[in-house]
């Protein structure tokens, strides 16, 4: 999965393991369940699942201009059945 111009979005990994890399950042990140990461720059962010994973996205830190981006990404996650609302509470 990739995100574009998502500065300020906080990702909380509820379950599984993810690999994350951001354009212009020499560091790659590996998150395990319970870890979180705030995307600190605009540009391309690539997220790869190393195992089955559930993530929660929190855009409250995002600039108002990012609101349409957040709505698009939330719609993608809801459609895929992968969106976990607020603090890793799995549906059903």
Higher-pLDDT residue of 91 and 2 is: 2
9 lies in a domain? yes
**What's the number of domains the chain is made of?**
1
What digits encode the pLDDT tens for the residues 21-70? 999 999 999 999 889 898 989 999 999 999 988 888 776 644 444 455 55
Give the pLDDT confidence score for residue 85 in this predicted structure: 45
Specify if 29 maps to a domain: yes
Q: What is the DSSP string of 38-81?
A: E--SSSEEEEEESSS-EEEEE-TTS-GGGHHHHHHHHHHHHHHT
Question: Residue 17: which CATH number?
Answer: 2.60.120
Q: Which structural domain, as residue segments, surrounds residue 36?
A: 2-80
Q: 35 lies in a domain?
A: yes
Does residue 92 lie within any of the structural domains?
no
């Amino acid at each position: 999965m990739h995100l574009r111009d998502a500065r300020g979005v906080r990702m909380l990994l509820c379950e599984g393991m993810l690999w994350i890399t951001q354009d212009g950042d020499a560091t790659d990140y590996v998150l395990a369940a319970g870890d979180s990461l705030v995307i600190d720059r605009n540009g391309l962010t690539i997220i790869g699942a190393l195992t089955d994973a559930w993530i929660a996205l929190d855009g409250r830190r995002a600039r108002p201009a990012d609101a349409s981006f957040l709505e698009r990404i939330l719609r993608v996650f809801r459609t895929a059945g992968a969106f976990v609302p607020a603090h890793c509470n799995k549906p059903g």
